[in-house]
Amino acid sequence: MSDNRQKTSHHLLRSIRNFFSQEPLWKLFSLAAAIFTWFIVMNIINPTEIKTFQAEVTLENLSSLTNKGYVVSNIEDIKNYSVTVKVQATRPALDELSESENKNNIKAKVDLSKLEINDAEEFPKTYSVAIVPTLPSNLYIYNYDVASYYPTICSVEIDRSVSKTVPVELKTYGSPASGYVSEYPVSDIEEVTVTGPESKISQVSKVTATIDITGSKENITDDCPLTVYDHDDNALEGFTVDPQSINVSVEVRKNHTIKIEEPRTTGSLPEHLELLSVEWSPKTIEVTGEGENAPESITLPPIDLTNIRSTTTQIVDISDILENSNLKASSSQKRVTVTIKVGLTNSEKYVITPDIIHITGLSDAYEAEISDSVTAEIGGAGNIDVASLRPTVNLTGLSEGTHSVPLTLTLPEGAVLSNEIKVNVTIKKKAANNTAEPVTEEPAETQSTTSETHEEDSTSSDNSQ
């Protein structure tokens, strides 16, 4: 019996010795033992550590103030508060808390329902409210303790709540796709109500709604949040807007270049005139239309030649033409200038000498001289008496020197002057002995009437005698 036990013991020892003599199995056993030891140390006998975190201040139960007609006037400053929170826990627990989705949920809460406000007090007034740090609620696997935190008090400024109506300014962000343009944004709401601290409400100037049109090829409508701004276009915090957002629409249209066809003519010119040319400008315009398709050209209304007696320029409004084609253009592109140039088929030339040219508008301190004759080519009337044309030059505002001045003619009905005529007029100061006041001659008709009056008086006197 004893021999059997000895043999069994000897066999067991030899088996263990053979097992550990094999190097791979020994390494595997060592690794398992190390992992087990680490697990025991980290989860059973691991000591706690302290790690520091930063937490943002959040206001709780804000409605407890707004329902009573109060508002937090330093809410922008409170948002910049940072509370240092020291958390005590095991290393695995702290590692878990340090992950970004957990770390960002460490909060420092300020419960506004704890405030006791006396309406008889003078506002704005600052209150000291306790800060209470909180950790994420999803970390229930580990135990955490807040070792300490600072600051422990938050200064909250309370003011009475007031409202005012302000205009809404609509803006766009970005640009539409290449080859497209956007119209001005529009909305059904032009004014909104802004509510905030009584001591700061005067800073509010406007509210803006911005719609993003980046890369757009079609009309956009979006619900846009509203932002409050002061007179210097600085965004303001601590105000509420009713409504908080509005619908904004922007029309996005495709750019097109279309041709303007040569206008046709109707009616006839007088016999002594012929049509030389019809010129128009611009010949193409930039327009916008819905979608990719647009007409290649538009046609202007016909030009009636019946009442044209000389070269004439007309301004044609094409707004209706564009609208009927569902096109839009800038105001400068909605007018087309059409020039109808005409010439004379038969005419006569009349020489106008300086002695029959009337001078008007000349200052008394000057005298004028016209030395050269000019020729007027006139069509549409024959055998014109040159004097009946009453050639006239107006020298108003001119001083010493030689000037080229337009000659004005009084034409018979139906007559046409082929080209504008200009004459050279030399203006000089009068000599010193010629500066006396000129004697104004009585018109011949007046003299005749006066003479007749004297004769009648004489005759009456003779008869009375």
Statement: residue 438 has pLDDT above 90 = no
Contact 228, 262 (CB under 8 A): no
Residues with Cβ < 8 Å from 32, sequence gap 6 or more?
none
Residue-wise pLDDT for 255-291, tens only, equals 888 999 999 999 998 888 889 899 999 999 988 887 7
Average pLDDT of the residues in 384-393: 90
Hey, CA dihedral for 94, 99, 102, 108, is it positive or negative?
Answer: positive
Q: For residue 27, give the 3-state DSSP assignment.
A: helix
Lookup result for tokens 């067991």? 12
**Averaged over 29-47, what is the pLDDT?**
66
Q: What is the pTM of this model?
A: 0.53
Q: How many CB atoms lie within 10 A of CB 318?
A: 20
Residue whose pair of structure tokens reads 């956007």 in the numeric block: 182
Which residue in 284, 288, 295 sits closest to 217, CA to CA? 288
Q: pLDDT digit string (tens) for 350-365?
A: 999 999 999 999 988 8
Other Cβ atoms closer than 10 A to 211: 22
The mean pLDDT value for 438-459 works out to: 40
- Rg for the chain (alpha carbons), in Å? 50
Tell me the per-residue pLDDT of 302-326, one tens digit each, with 9 for 90 and over. Answer: 999 998 888 899 999 999 998 888 8
* DSSP state, residue 81: -
Q: Could you give the percent of the chain with pLDDT greater than 70?
A: 84
